[in-house]
Chains A and B, each alone.
Chain A
Amino acid sequence: MSLNDFNPTEKKDTRSGFGDALFELGKQDKRVVGLCADLIGSLKMNAFAEAFPERFIQAGVAEANMIGMAAGLTIGGKIPFTGTFANFSTGRVYDQIRQSVAYSQKNVKICASHAGLTLGEDGATHQILEDIGLMRMLPNMTVINPCDYHQTYNATMAIKDWEGPVYLRFGRPSWPMFSGKDRPFEIGKAWKISAGSDVSIIATGHMVWFAILAAKELEKQGISCDVINIHTIKPLDEEAVLESVAKTRCVVTAEEHNKHGGLGDAVAQVLAMNLPTPQEYVAVNDKFGESGKPTDLLKKYGLDVSDIVAAAKRAVERK
């Protein structure tokens, strides 16, 4: 595909991709159990909860207990999907996930909405920017951050049959639908969006759309971009990263996360070990967020399309 083929007209929130897929999974597989910590509407779990009350557990505002119950449900062959905000899905319950899920190798799907700055007006208490780091540090954990409605839907469907703990991260805002309904989703396999030769732009989550917009702009300025969507941050598709960077010899990573511990660091680690390369981070610069409109926040914290464009130029100059 060429970058010019991406002209989405429709928008939808990624959390609806999760909710719609969970409902579908409920129909397909009786082992699927939903758990939610008093955020059914926010997580779009209504359809599942209404259709399958016998397989839905309202956990209340008691996230630690929810994670523990989910771990217990796997002992009995269930495939539990827990739903709450990303902040309460990770930082609040880190030790429960560490011991009862990851170390115990339990088949729990931790599904987290309202990740990052685009949660918006609720502000920093809820805008977790450290969750990818927290989750990718855990052995046995798979970490997925899809980029739009369809990819979130497809990721939700895919993790049901992926044995082991998964952290699935998505968000609140309505976002352009550009990945396509029928694009195959394979856990751990990057989506190579466009082929270019001057710079690799590797992005995850909402920032993938901005990476496409930035690449369009850069192409106009004569800089050819290799745009890659890493939806699975762990296990990382190292081959895709190395193949791209071997060609372009410089890279920009873009993520709605702190610059510490996220996609940028995951890519940097692979490059440091295999192919040392100039890299520019488009990420939050070790700060907490604040209240505001998602687009204003992305701008203020250096996650706008223009930030990716500027980072790409810096990366090219460092070659």
Chain B
Amino acid sequence: MSDINQLEELATQIRRDIVRMVHSVSSGHPGGSLGCTDYFTALYGEILRYDPSNFTMNGENEDLFFLSNGHISPVWYATLARHNYFPVSELATFRKIDSRLQGHPTTAEHLPGVRMASGSLGQGLSVAIGAALAKKMNGDNSIVYSLHGDGELQEGQIWEAAMSAPHHKVDNLIATVDYNNRQIDGNVSDVLSLGDLRAKWEAFGWLVLEMNGNIIADVLSGLKRAKALCGKGQPVIILMKTEMGAGVDFMMGTHKWHGVAPNDEQLARALEQLPETIGDY
């Protein structure tokens, strides 16, 4: 399949897509999207088993992905488009009237690749557990993946879900936390600290892995290690260290680009750092 260089080129193109999409509509969430670009690139580039030409809601015998922190929709949309779920030209409609690319992902517009609305935080892990349980009931051996923000872990429903997956032996689920320590109002550790996250998930009965979410090779090996842990009676969670705004120097090192769009000048500076690789939409 793809080698690392190809994946890196794709990641650069997706980062260009993200900043252009958000700039075009002067709204959206570039920070977390850029931070998670390498994860999405690795996941859809080499890990997930899926068929974009025949998208079905049930995704029988396919791996499923749920984005729980729906505000980083730009990176998901760009990834889906770059993997032929829909035309890349549609990225230009992001957040505009009559678009299938809503500010936060939705099934209401029947966008291929999306199986659940998300945006109101904390709900995706429960949904992923339900989908994973359905797969087990159906004798379907594929895997369910989910992504969550670290700020999102402040939602109580996450911990209900955290309790339930090990109890029900959901061992076909790989959740990942975008562990960038940033949220809208500042550092997660200042807003409402998560404490010892590894110890918390382990205490709930999860197998916990860590990886660097901004090194594609590390993401690939992390996801592969996670896959190898499936089927052992426990759910798997990966604490993925990322840098919010990764790939655009002035968006890094701060929480301020969580939900702010670049202006024309900032867009130009961002694109200088992200050379066009596959071709702009």
Measuring CB to CB, which residues of chain A are less than 8 angstroms from any residue of chain B?
33, 54-55, 57, 59-60, 62, 64-78, 80, 95-96, 98-100, 103-106
Contacts and interface: CB of A to CB of B under 8 A. Distances in A.
A58 B137 CA distance: 15
B11 interface: no
Given A60-B163, A76-B134, A76-B137, A65 B120 contact: no
Contacts of B60: 76-77
A76 B135 CA distance: 6
Contact of A60 (B59, B138, B164): B164
B101 interface: no
B138 A70 contact: no
Interface string B123-155: 111111111111101101000000000000000
B161 interface: yes
A71 B134 CA distance: 11
A105 B128 CA distance: 16
Contacts of B163: 60, 62, 65
Contacts of A76: 58-60, 131, 134-135, 137-138, 140
A103 B130 contact: no
A70 B134 contact: no
Nearest to B144: A72
A100 B130 CA distance: 12
A75 B126 contact: no
Interface of B: 57-60, 64, 106-108, 115-120, 122-135, 137-138, 140, 156-157, 160-161, 163-164, 167-168
25 contacts: A59-B164, A65-B126, A65-B129, A66-B126, A67-B126, A69-B129, A71-B127, A72-B129, A72-B131, A72-B132, A72-B134, A75-B57, A75-B130, A75-B131, A76-B58, A76-B60, A76-B134, A76-B135, A98-B120, A100-B116, A100-B126, A103-B106, A103-B117, A104-B107, A104-B117
A71 B130 CA distance: 7
Given A76-B140, A96-B126, 5 more contacts: A64-B122, A66-B126, A80-B130, A95-B123, A105-B108
A213 to B, nearest CB: 44
